Amino acid sequence: METCCEVFVRLPSSGVLKSVLVPHGSCVSDLLSSVSASPEGGSEYFVLQNGFVKHCDDEVRGNETFDLCCRLRGGKGGFGSMLRAIGAQIEKTTNREACRDLSGRRLRAINDERRARHYARLKAQREIEREQKRRKKLESLATSKPHHEFNDEQYLKDRVEIPDRVEEAVEQAFAEVSEKRLCRGEEPRSRFRYASFESRLIRNSPQASPGPSGTKRAADEACAAASPKKIKGWMGDLEGFEDSDSESEKADNDSPSSGSEARASV
């Protein structure tokens, strides 16, 4: 009758199965004590069989395989309290757009694409609503009364009468000038006669000087081409202008005779 049985123990360092002889009716604690004689040491290990932990009182049978696992040294503790203290300072966020889905795309890109499709789908509806708002605004402006109303009767009355007053003043000024010319025995001129300054300049130009024949054909043609123009915006004294006009005409009339006399003397 055999007094010992053979079991197989897988060492944690090398993973090699080791054959160990233990007496019949031995328990796991006896197996650990037999292993402790090896360099691995038995007090720092616990035994697993088929993924389950074997207690020290469990019986060991022959030809069974056991796994020897190392025990981990425990710390002083307090790490949970440290995590809780740090977690209170960390702000929780609900923004998950930087995350990726199962296909590898970021949630930010997926959400942007969804919003773009929604915007394009509602574009026609927004155009209709914008046109309706515009029409409604125009209708309200057309039907509503103006907020500011100007009712100055004196201003409206003066606005109508001022053009008539200006016209009467101009007519009176020309009438006074005509009366003064009649009193001096001169021929009265119309208002358009005062605008013949351009024609006088053309008549007095060097091109209008008499030729060998003594005629002024070029000057006559230039004077005929010049049309009288109405003077705008000038309300000065007309008396001095008439005197200068008559003097310039006299000078024009005297200039051909003086020129002929000078040629005769030569």
Asked if 20 and 31 count as a contact pair (C-beta separation under 8 A), the reply is yes
Query: What number is the average pLDDT over the span 215-241?
Result: 50
Query: In the structure, what pLDDT confidence band is assigned to residue 110 with cuts at 50, 70 and 90?
Result: very high
Q: Where are the chain's structural domains?
A: 4-70, 157-252
Phi and psi angles of residue 30, each rounded to the nearest 5 degrees, phi first: -65, -35
pLDDT number for residue 198: 47
DSSP 42: S
- pLDDT at residue 84 greater than cutoff 70: yes
Identity of residue 99: C
- For domain 4-70, is the CATH number 3.10.20.90? yes
Residue 155: HSE in the Cβ half-sphere, 13 Å Cα cutoff: 3
- pLDDT at residue 111 greater than cutoff 70: yes
Angstrom distance (rounded) from CA 69 to CA 43 = 11
Q: Largest Cα–Cα distance in the chain?
A: 183
Question: What's the pLDDT tens digit per position in 118-165?
Answer: 999 899 899 999 999 999 999 988 887 766 777 788 888 898 999 999
Identity of residue 18: K
Q: Taking Cα atoms as reference points, which of 24, 111, 40 lies closest to residue 32?
A: 40
- pLDDT at residue 207 greater than cutoff 60: no
Element at 87 (helix H, strand E): helix 79-89
Burial string for 210-247 (b: 16+ CB within 10 Å, else e) reads: beeeeebeebeebbeebeeeeeeeeeeebeeebeebee
CA angle 16, 18, 22 (to 5 degrees): 155
Identity of residue 1: M
